[in-house]
């Protein structure tokens, strides 16, 4: 039993090492060096006999090595991400074929220019260009496919890991919101307010019941969707702030949505952690929260401002609680497409988030 466990741990360790080698930026130089060495061995150290003098064969191998490395890196960093990974398969295949034909033409031209240095009089690619082109393109596509397969495999692994992280963060986010906002304490206080208002202000009690119902419905049904409308998120925040305003004395809030674009789809429960954090750590001497959305040309600007404490420890606490998960989630959902600014000064805590949808 112990040997099996050791064997399993060893296999897991090997898998982690291979994954690190293929994916980690730390080993990027090692990966490129490994690939270069392979083709260096193929083209320079063990040069092909092209029928020329030994000196010409050697220099031709160096040129082949440099050219094939340029083509491979162009394929990895331009053609694969810009075409293949975006679903433009036909354009990608066409681009590879064009590069192959250009390469074949260069080789045939080089053979003509170097004909005076030829020792062997065997048939060359240029003399029987149809069969030569077919043979060359087959070999060229096989070599290109090797680097393409590595890049696609790397892309799939990275995106699977991102998907797993997003799912975990979404799950943690949903649990955190349910725990902090729909807790027995929250429900008890809200229901107690409703009970009091049924006698003093029945209309307000009815409105509070509807808001609480909408809030719970959103969290149970919309919160598990992959994407929802921004307007739904805004309505949810309005309901949340309305309920909080009845729970806290002298609490004021303002929420607005501006911009020429009316609506957009985005992940659910993206902004409520910021709002919830603001309400939770508000300055009770002057309790206020201001939330603003501006949507235009698929760019969303979100800001959340609340009164804060002048105490330094309280500032750090405000900035640290409830914001770490949302930062990770933003990095996964909007890589290179978001900016987040958190500022706490002059008794005002400000969050500004810009998203490119």
Q: What is the pLDDT of residue 22?
A: 61
pLDDT single digits (tens) 247-262: 777 889 999 999 988 8
Residue 80: CB partners within 8 Å, gap ≥ 6?
92, 148, 151, 152, 155
Q: What is the pLDDT of residue 8?
A: 43
List the one residue out of 215, 223, 284 whose CA is nearest residue 243. 215
Does 182-356 carry CATH code 3.30.565.10?
yes
Q: What is the rounded CA–CA span in Å between residue 189 and residue 191?
A: 6
Q: What is the pLDDT of residue 250?
A: 83
Q: What is the pLDDT of residue 179?
A: 45
Q: What is the pLDDT of residue 2?
A: 40
- Mapped onto helix, strand or coil, the DSSP state of residue 210 is helix
Contact 224, 171 (CB under 8 A): no
Q: What is the rounded CA–CA span in Å between residue 33 and residue 41?
A: 12
pTM score above 0.85: no
pLDDT single digits (tens) 125-137: 545 667 767 777 8
Query: What is the mean pLDDT for each group of 10 consecutive residues in the chain (357 residues)?
Result: 43 53 67 72 58 68 78 86 85 88 81 67 55 77 82 77 68 54 64 81 85 80 79 89 83 91 87 86 86 93 87 52 72 85 87 92
Element (H, E) at 275: helix 272-280
Q: What is the pLDDT of residue 143?
A: 79
Q: What is the pLDDT of residue 292?
A: 95
- Give the bridge partners for 228, in sequence order: 266
| DSSP code, position 264 | -
Mean pLDDT of the chain: 76
Domain coordinates of the chain in residue numbers?
2-162, 182-356
Q: Which tokens is 2 given?
A: 């112990």
Q: What is the pLDDT of residue 12?
A: 43
Contact 126, 132 (CB under 8 A): yes
Element (H, E) at 288: strand 288-296
Q: What is the rounded CA–CA span in Å between residue 186 and residue 217?
A: 16
| DSSP code, position 25 | G
């Amino acid at each position: 039993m112990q040997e099996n466990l050791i064997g399993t741990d060893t296999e897991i360790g090997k898998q982690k090492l291979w994954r690190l080698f293929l994916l980690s930026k730390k080993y990027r130089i090692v990966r490129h060096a490994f690939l270069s060495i392979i083709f260096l061995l193929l083209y320079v150290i063990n040069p092909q006999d092209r029928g020329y003098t030994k000196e010409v064969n050697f220099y031709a191998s160096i040129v082949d090595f440099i050219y094939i490395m340029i083509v491979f890196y162009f394929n990895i960093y331009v053609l694969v991400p810009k075409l293949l990974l975006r679903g433009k398969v036909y354009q990608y295949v066409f681009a590879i074929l064009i590069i192959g034909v250009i390469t074949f033409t260069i080789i045939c031209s080089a053979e003509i220019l170097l004909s005076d240095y030829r020792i062997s009089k065997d048939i060359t690619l240029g003399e029987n260009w149809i069969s030569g082109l077919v043979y060359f393109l087959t070999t060229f596509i096989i070599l290109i496919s090797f680097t393409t397969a590595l890049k696609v495999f790397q892309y799939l692994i990275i995106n699977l890991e991102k998907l797993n992280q997003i799912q975990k963060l979404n799950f943690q986010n949903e649990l955190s919101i349910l725990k902090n906002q729909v807790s027995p304490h929250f429900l008890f206080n809200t229901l107690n307010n409703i009970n009091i208002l049924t006698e003093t202000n029945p209309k307000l009690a009815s409105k509070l019941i509807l808001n609480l119902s909408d809030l719970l419905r959103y969290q149970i049904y919309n919160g598990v969707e992959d994407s929802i409308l921004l307007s739904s998120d805004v309505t949810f925040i309005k309901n949340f702030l309305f309920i909080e305003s009845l729970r806290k004395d002298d609490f004021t809030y303002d929420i607005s949505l501006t911009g020429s674009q009316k609506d957009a789809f985005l992940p659910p429960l993206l902004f409520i952690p910021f709002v919830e954090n603001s309400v939770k750590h508000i300055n009770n001497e002057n309790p206020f929260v201001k939330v603003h959305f501006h949507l235009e040309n698929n760019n969303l600007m979100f800001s959340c401002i609340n009164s804060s404490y002048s105490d330094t420890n309280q500032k750090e606490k405000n900035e640290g609680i409830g914001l770490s998960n949302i930062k990770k989630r933003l990095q996964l959902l909007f890589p290179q497409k978001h900016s987040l600014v958190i500022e706490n000064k002059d008794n005002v805590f400000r969050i500004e988030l810009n998203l490119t949808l």
